[in-house]
Amino acid sequence: MSVEFTIYKKDGMESGQKLTFKDAAFDVEPHDHSIFLAVKTEMTNSRQGTSSTKTRAEVSGGGRKPWKQKGRGGARAGSSRSPVWVGGGRAFGPKPKYYNMKINKKVKTLARKSALAYKFKEGAIKVVEDFKFEEAKAKTMREMLIAFGIENKRITLLATNVSENLYLATRNFYNILLVEAERASTYDMLDCEVLLVDKEGLEKLNSRLLIK
């Protein structure tokens, strides 16, 4: 089944052109489990794994026995850096760890197709002619968002190429995630209310997802 998109100009008006896909990669029934596996993998692989605590061997001090072994009537102690003491080391605390998960290419591709399919069914995909900006001004970007009525929505902006002007124009917007279209992950496409993509970027993304 062919899929058709209306192409808009940056001022929010229709350009009079249509983008038609006779073979749309995202014209599929969304597969939730593939999405779950893909997002889980992406989130896991993005973890830094740098959390760390000191064991009793690493905490400074505590080399002297606090008091004699017998005769006090209290519990024996060999170091003031025991995990049961305030200021002592941490027992079984976190240490730096490398987080890594793998996912089959077919599952990853199906997940990206499914994410796009959800956004397509929601009518959340807006196609723009291009994202070419003569100047790197946030004002220009804000005017475009207002023209589309999406200035207060979470936006993933998929561009054919992330030019310097486009990067500088979007970097101060907390609600915009700028991604190169072909590199967009499942999570990038799902974690937004609107997918704003340029014509060439959507064509390239569709072609990439059709590769078997």
Residues in the chain, overall count: 212
The rounded distance, in Å, linking the Cα atoms of 100 and 65 is 43
In this structure, the answer to whether residues 203 and 110 fall within a common structural domain is yes
The rounded distance, in Å, linking the Cα atoms of 174 and 140 is 16
In this structure, the answer to whether residues 90 and 146 fall within a common structural domain is no
In this structure, the answer to whether residues 185 and 144 fall within a common structural domain is yes
Q: Of 82, 98, 114, which marks where a domain is finished?
A: 98
Cα distance between the two ends of the chain: 19
In this structure, the answer to whether residues 142 and 201 fall within a common structural domain is yes
In this structure, the answer to whether residues 37 and 57 fall within a common structural domain is no
The rounded distance, in Å, linking the Cα atoms of 129 and 21 is 16
Return the residue matching tokens 């009525």: 149
In this structure, the answer to whether residues 31 and 71 fall within a common structural domain is no
| pLDDT, position 212 | 67
Helices (H), 63-130: 105-122
In this structure, the answer to whether residues 56 and 35 fall within a common structural domain is no
The rounded distance, in Å, linking the Cα atoms of 197 and 28 is 20
CATH number of domain containing 206: 3.40.1370.10
| C-beta of residue 25 within 8 angstroms of C-beta of residue 125 | no
Question: Per DSSP, what are the bridge partners of residue 179?
Answer: 158
* Structural domain boundaries, residue 122: 3-45+104-210
- pLDDT tens across the length of the chain (212 residues): 678 888 999 888 888 888 888 888 888 899 999 999 999 999 999 999 999 999 999 999 988 999 999 999 999 999 999 999 999 999 999 999 999 999 999 999 999 999 999 999 999 999 999 898 888 899 999 999 999 999 999 999 999 998 899 999 999 999 999 999 999 999 999 999 999 999 999 999 998 988 76
In this structure, the answer to whether residues 55 and 154 fall within a common structural domain is no
The rounded distance, in Å, linking the Cα atoms of 6 and 125 is 10
In this structure, the answer to whether residues 111 and 129 fall within a common structural domain is yes
Give the number of domains in the chain.
Answer: 2
In this structure, the answer to whether residues 116 and 140 fall within a common structural domain is yes
In this structure, the answer to whether residues 120 and 41 fall within a common structural domain is yes
